[in-house]
Structures are given as structure tokens and as C-alpha cells.
Structure 1
Amino acid sequence: PPTLSETAEVSRNQATQPYLESWGLYLAELMGNVTPGNVSFIRVAIEPLLSPAVYQQVVDALEIQARQIREDRVTLKFQPRQVEYEYETGHVFVTGYSLVSGPSGDEQRQTRTYEFDIDIEQYRPKLSWMDTYEGQARTKRVREKLTQEQNRRVNDANQN
């Protein structure tokens, strides 16, 4: 991957953390910086990385995003700030700032996370699942903590 900055290893069906994090960063930077002018380029760049399970979903999302950008006359930028690999799930989380600027030049910033499941098939990365959402990475630890808080609230409500 173009963003690989340290030694990594790849075998037929697996890869080390730096390799997977690099591919996650590359994908987040591509998908987070879509414009009507570059959507075709981005589609060509990521199509070989998409597994059949997510191919149509990702391509449709890119087209919808480009259409909305064109209609709303806005510019979207993604500035990554953190890349995290979660061993338990094998997911790569790329968190950063999503910047939206309109025709008037006003810019809105929000924290956004891209979450990927990147498999290795015949030495090649394949994106087998992805999600993007506002806020910090929803790692397994974060999801468990949210579930515990939710259960505590339900228990508190039932006792009252």
C-alpha cells in the first residue's frame, strides 16, 4: 500500500498489523475525499480491492456521495488522525476529521471513523466489510462499555 511506513509481512491468507493498517488508511483517504471530478478514479482504484460481498454497496455509496456533492455544491475532505487495529475482530479503524465546505466557504468539522475488515486472499488485500460513522472508533471494548451502560440504565429504570 502507498501509506506503508514500516516493515510488514504478507502470506497467502494473512498479513501483519502494519500492512492492514496501511491499507485501511489508504482506503479511508480515498473514500473520504470523493469529489464529482475524481469519483471515477477512486472507483477504478478501489474496485480490485472489493470482495463480491461489498462491491455493489461500496460502488453505490461512492456514486451517491458524488451526486450529493454535485447537487449541494460542497467539498468533502477527510483528515486522518488515528489508525487502530483490533486483534479480536481483525478490524482496522481510521478516525479523523471530516470537513465539509459549502459554496460560501463556511467549513464544518466533525469526527468521523472508517471501519474496515480487510482479508488477505492469495497475497492480496480484499475489503470484505466496511462502515463509516460519526464519532470515535467503536472498538469491541467501546461497544462492551456502551452495552454495560445501557444495561445499567435499564436496571435503574426498572428499580424505580
Structure 2
Amino acid sequence: MKHKNFTQKWLGLQDSNKFLKIVCGFLLCVNLILVIGVLNTEKLVVLIPQGLSEQADIAQNKASEGYKKSWGMYAATLLGNITPENADFILSSLNDMVTPDIKLLLNDQVRADLQTLKEERVSSTFEVKKVSYEPETDKVFVTGKHWITGVGAKSASSAQTFEFKIDIRNYAPVISHLALYEGEAKIVAVVKRDAAKEQTKKDQENGK
């Protein structure tokens, strides 16, 4: 009788041991999956950009609207307020966050602007008034007032817009598109409106 009870208990322990092994194996697989998931999860950094009230999120190769707007405003502020004294600082600040082709364009343009400022003994000032983002084109538009100041004189201000496309590469912003023009931001609606006006003008001229 005792031998029979012992055998039953032993078999029961073996069954329990098998069950525990299965459970342990299952938990090990779950933990392994969780570890792989954590390692492969893209990190997200949350920032509050200086000068903007909205939150900005950045991951390895993408960023939120707020983050791109903050960098667009930063770049426009630097480029719009170049003087012979701060030109080297501005170039060094922006050269690491632009593509090679824009870097060449930027250096040439800044050098040309500096030469003009020195010859005419004036300084350029840009005051940001509006920063906007267009999801359709992934572009940032920084519009503001621009004026030239000379010795004892100041020109009338004019509207000016900086247009950027900012990519994210390994958490760092990279300007892949840069344009500067007078007037309001050339968002898709404005471009279509201007194109329609131009087409209407051509049609009227051809109809004469």
C-alpha cells in the first residue's frame, strides 16, 4: 500500500515538474519577445522648443510638427540677421545641419550678402512674425518683417519668407530644402492661386 502511494506521489511530482517546465519555457519565450521588442522600439524624445508653446516629439528618423517649426524658426532667425561680426558663427551653426548642396549654396550666398553689407555699410534685420507647417509638402514657412539699417537711416520693412524642408537623421535635424522670397508663404493653396492667376492672364492676352 505504501509502495502504491509512493508511486502515485512520484508520478504526480513528475507531472507537476513537466507542467512547471512548460510554464517556465513559456515565460522565457515571453521575456525574450519583450526584450527584443524593447531593443527594437524607436526611442522618442519629447522637447518643448524655445520660443514655441507646443510640445515637440523626435524619434530616430522622424519628428513632430512642433520640432520642425522650432528649427525652422531658429535657422530663419540666424540667416535673417547676418552681420560681418556674426557670419562665421552662423555658418558654423548651420553647416552641420544642411545637405552638401545647400551647404555650398549657403556659403556662397552668405559671402555675397556680407560683401554687399560691407560695401553699403548696412545691416540686415529679420523679425519673425509667423511660423507655419504644411503637412502636404512637409515644409516649414517662417514669415516676418525684414529691413536694412544704415548709418542713421532705416529702410521701410517688407514681408519676407524663409521656406525649409527639415528631415530627421539619427535624431538630428537636416535641412534638405531652403528658399527665401519676398511676400507671404507659398503654401499649396497660394501656389495654385498664383498659377490660376497667371493662366488667366495668359488666356486674356491670347484672346486679344
Letter in 2 for 1:74: V
Letter in 2 for 1:119: D
Instruction: Report the secondary structure of 2:157's partner residue.
Output: strand
Q: Normalized per residue, which structure has more helix?
A: 2
Residue of structure 1 in register with 2:135 after alignment = 87
Residue of structure 2 in register with 1:108 after alignment = 156
1:151 aligns with 2:199: yes
- Please point out which of 103, 108, 114 is paired with 1:60: 108
CA 1:132/1:38 → structure 2, altered by over 3 Å: closer, same or farther?
A: same
Deviations along 1:73-111, one digit per CA (max 9) or x if unpaired, are: 001110010011011111111000011012232333111
> What aligned pairs does 1:113-152 form with structure 2 within 5 A after superposition?
113-152=161-200
Which structure's CA Rg is the greater one?
2
| Relative contact order, higher structure (CA 8 A, sep 6+) | 1
CA distance in 2, matches of 1:123, 1:15: 8
Aligned residues: 160
Percent identity of the aligned residues? 33
CA distance in 1, matches of 2:51, 2:115: 28
Letter in 1 for 2:177: W
Letter in 2 for 1:48: D
Q: CA RMSD in A?
A: 1.3
Residue of structure 2 in register with 1:71 after alignment = 119
Please list every run of 5 or more consecutive structure 1 residues that lacks an aligned counterpart in the other structure: none
Deviations along 1:45-100, one digit per CA (max 9) or x if unpaired, are: 11111111211001111111112111110011100100110111111110000110
TM value normalised by structure 2: 0.73
Q: Normalized per residue, which structure has more strand?
A: 1
- Contact 2:56–2:67, Cα closer than 8 Å, also in 1: yes
CA distance in 1, matches of 2:54, 2:206: 52
Letter in 1 for 2:135: Y
CA distance in 1, matches of 2:106, 2:154: 29
- Contact 1:116–1:127, Cα closer than 8 Å, also in 2: yes
Q: How far off its partner does 1:8 sit?
A: 1.1
Q: How far off its partner does 1:158 sit?
A: 2.6
Instruction: Report the secondary structure of 1:108's partner residue.
Output: coil
- Contact 1:118–1:126, Cα closer than 8 Å, also in 2: yes
Please list every run of 5 or more consecutive structure 2 residues that lacks an aligned counterpart in the other structure: 1-48
TM value normalised by structure 1: 0.94
CA distance in 1, matches of 2:199, 2:191: 12
CA distance in 1, matches of 2:64, 2:154: 41
Off by >6 Å, runs of 4+ in structure 1: none
Residue of structure 1 in register with 2:11 after alignment = none
